[in-house]
Amino acid sequence: MYTLIKREIEDHIIYFLGALILSLLFTASIAAKGFGGEPAEGLGIILAAIGITLACATIVICALGTSQMHTDKNRKISAFLSTLPVSRNQILAARVITGLLALLVLLAAPAITVEILLSTLRQEEAVYRYFTVEIFSAVYLLGLGVYCTGLMCGFSSSKIVVTLGSLVLSVVLLTIILIKGPDIETLIILLVYVSASLAYTWRKFSTIPFI
């Protein structure tokens, strides 16, 4: 399994580098503005940075999912790997774990920075106690949902379907989180979406002929 995950990361290293650069940029801007300015200004900066992080994460992660499936089909990677002692489930699991890792790379540093910043700025107010957990859980699940969208769209051989399909579904997800906010209902909707798209991807990947 480790070999398969390592292979996926190496094949898509550009997305990991992109995620890392974005993550560092946001962390740096949150830290610089948040710790440097007024408390009220600092909160505004945090929310703006989270918004930008969300949009960028959506693009990077969706592109990663699409690329994983699209490249696989074009280069016949799974067709080759399946002739080795490797199951289809293992190949897909390695792929999804890679997506989860990319999301972690993207979101871990900003989340930690926001938590430190909030504990410094508003530690006495209970309303901010679970702020980081709530918002970053929603962002992580959104990222995962968008990633799964990318995986599903990657099956299509049409580049237009791949691109437009991914974008439309990602915008729908993004809109849900922007309108409803990161509450429990949003989390449940995202969880259901992630489970359904993972189940679809697994079913499709298990039954698709490797040509």
Partner 1 sequence: MSDDAIVIESLVKYYDGRCVIDGVDLKIPRGCIYGLLGRNGIGKTTIIRILLGLDFPTRGKSYILGRDSTQLTNKIKGRIGYVAEGHNMISSYKVSRLINICKKLSMRWNDKFFNHLIEMFRLPMERYVRELSTGMRAELNLALAMATEPELLILDDPTLGLDTVARRQFLELAVDLLQRDGRTILFSSHILGDVERIADRIGILAGCKLVVDCGLEELKRRIKKLRLIFEKKAPANLHLTEIVNQQSSGREMTVTIANMDEQKQAVINTLGAESCEEIPMSLEDIFIECTRPKQKQAVF
Chain residues that interact with partner 1, rule: CB under 8 A: 3-4, 7, 75-77, 79-87, 90, 207, 209-211
**Residue 90: CB minimum distance to partner 1, A:** 8
Residue nearer to partner 1 on the CB measure, 38 or 209: 209
Residue nearer to partner 1 on the CB measure, 60 or 94: 94
Amino acid identity at 171 = V
**Residue 154: CB minimum distance to partner 1, A:** 17
Residue nearer to partner 1 on the CB measure, 123 or 207: 207
Listed in sequence order, the residues at least 6 apart from 174 whose beta carbon sits closer than 8 Å to its beta carbon are 54, 55, 58, 142, 146
**Residue 85: CB minimum distance to partner 1, A:** 4
Residue nearer to partner 1 on the CB measure, 82 or 137: 82
**Residue 183: CB minimum distance to partner 1, A:** 43
- Return the SS3 of 122: coil
Of 13, 47, 40, whose CA–CA distance to 131 is shortest?
Answer: 47
Instruction: Kindly report the backbone phi and psi dihedral angles of residue 182, in degrees, each rounded to the nearest multiple of 5, phi listed first.
Output: -80, 55
Side-chain-facing half-sphere of 62: CA atoms under 13 Å: 23
